[in-house]
Amino acid sequence: MILLDGKKLSTEIKAEIAAEVTRLKAAGHKTPHLAAILVGNSGASESYVAGKIKSCAEVGFKSSLFRFEDSVSEKELLDKIKAVNNDADIDGFIVQLPLPKHINVQKVTETILPSKDVDGFHPINVGRLMQNIPCYLPATPFGIMQMIERYKIETAGKHCVVLGRSNIVGLPMSMLMARNTYPGNCTVTLCHSKTKNIQEITTTADIIIAAIGQPKFVTKEMVKEGAVVIDVGITRVPSDKTKSGYKITGDVDFENVSSKCSYISPVPGGVGLMTIVGLLMNTLKAARKEIQF
C-alpha cells in the first residue's frame, strides 16, 4: 500500500509555485493576489480560510480577507463582490461556503467574474470544464487530479466510482475522470444517496473517490483488493481525546480499508492540503491571465 501523502506533495508544489512567483516578480510582474470573503464565524470555515491565507504567505502571494457578520444583507455582499471584481490588484477571489440561508448562493456565484473565479464555481467555468475548454477547475478536484498525476496512477480504461454528486467535488470529479486525457479516460459511475446496491458497485471499482461527508462510510467490504482509494471527507467528529474536542474524520474507514489498497489518501494529511494547492495554482493562472474569457 502506498500512502498518497498530501503533506509531502503540497509542500513540493508550493515550493514550485513560490519559485514561479519569484521569477514573475523578478520579471517586473506584480505580486499575485488572492482575496477571500468570509461570512459569519463557523469554526470550519474560519479554519479553511485561515489555511488559505497562510498558504498565500508561504508561496509569496498577497492575500486579503474581507469579513462580514452572519446578518449581512445579500445586497451588501453582492456589492462587495462587484467591488472586488473591479479591483485590478486582486487577481482571483473566493466566497467561502456555506453562506447563511437568507443569501442566494447562485446569485453570489454568478456575480463573481468568471476570470476571477478561482474556485471554479461560476456556470461559465463549470460549462467550460464539461466541454474541456480552458477554465478554472474547482480546487478540490484540481488537487485530486494533481495527486493522481504526480503519483503516476494509471487511469485509462479503469472503473472510477465517485461517491457524492456535490457541485464542489463529486460532479466535477466525475466529469474530469471521464475526459479523454490523463488523468481521465475512466469509465465513471457516480453514486449518490438514492443509489441502490452501492457495495455491488464499489467492489468493481479500480478507483474510489469518496466525497459524501459521512465518516467511515467506505468499509473494507466495499473495496476491491488493489483499489486506489481517495478520501475527500473532512467531518468534525466529537472526541474527548483531542484539545479541540473534535477529530477530523474521512469518509473511509482507513484503519480497515488501507491494507487492501494499492494507494490510499489519509485524513488528515491527504486531499485537504491538495485543495489549497488547487486554489493557489488557479490564482497563479489568474495572475498570469493564462485563461482567456
Catalytic residue positions? 52, 96, 119
Q: Does the protein bind ligand GUN through residue 173 (CB under 6 A)?
A: no
* Residues 222-251, interacting with ligand GUN (CB under 6 A): none
Sketch the per residue contact string, 126 through 155, with ligand GUN: x for CB under 6 A, - otherwise. Answer: -------------xx---------------
Residue span binding ligand GUN (CB under 6 A) among the ranges 4-12, 54-62, 89-97, 197-205: 89-97
Distances (CA, A) of 125 to 121, 186, 191, 192, 226: 7, 22, 23, 23, 35
Query: 43 Cβ partners below 8 Å, 6+ apart?
Result: 236
Q: Which is nearer to ligand GUN, 114 or 263 (CB)?
A: 114
Query: Which residue type is seen at 242?
Result: T
Q: Does the protein bind ligand GUN through residue 264 (CB under 6 A)?
A: no
What cell was used for 120? 471554479
Question: If DSSP codes are grouped into helix, strand and coil, which group holds residue 272?
Answer: helix
Q: Quick one: how many helices (H) and strands (E) in the chain?
A: 10, 11
- Contact with ligand GUN (CB under 6 A): which of 18, 24, 53, 97? 97
252 close to 216: Cβ distance less than 8 angstroms: yes
Give the other-Cβ count within 10 Å of 124's Cβ: 18
Q: Does the protein bind ligand GUN through residue 176 (CB under 6 A)?
A: no
Q: Does the protein bind ligand GUN through residue 63 (CB under 6 A)?
A: no
- Contact with ligand GUN (CB under 6 A): which of 32, 35, 68, 119? 119
**How near is the Cβ of 176 to ligand GUN at its closest, in Å?**
15
Q: Which is nearer to ligand GUN, 10 or 275 (CB)?
A: 275
Q: Does the protein bind ligand GUN through residue 168 (CB under 6 A)?
A: yes
- Contact with ligand GUN (CB under 6 A): which of 38, 81, 94, 277? 94
If phi > 0 it is left, if psi is from -120 to 50 it is alpha, else beta; for residue 244 that is: alpha
Q: Which is nearer to ligand GUN, 205 or 209 (CB)?
A: 209
176 close to 184: Cβ distance less than 8 angstroms: yes
Count CA atoms closer than 13 A to 148's CA, side-chain side. 26
Give the binding site for ligand GUN (CB under 6 A).
94-97, 119, 139-140, 168, 275
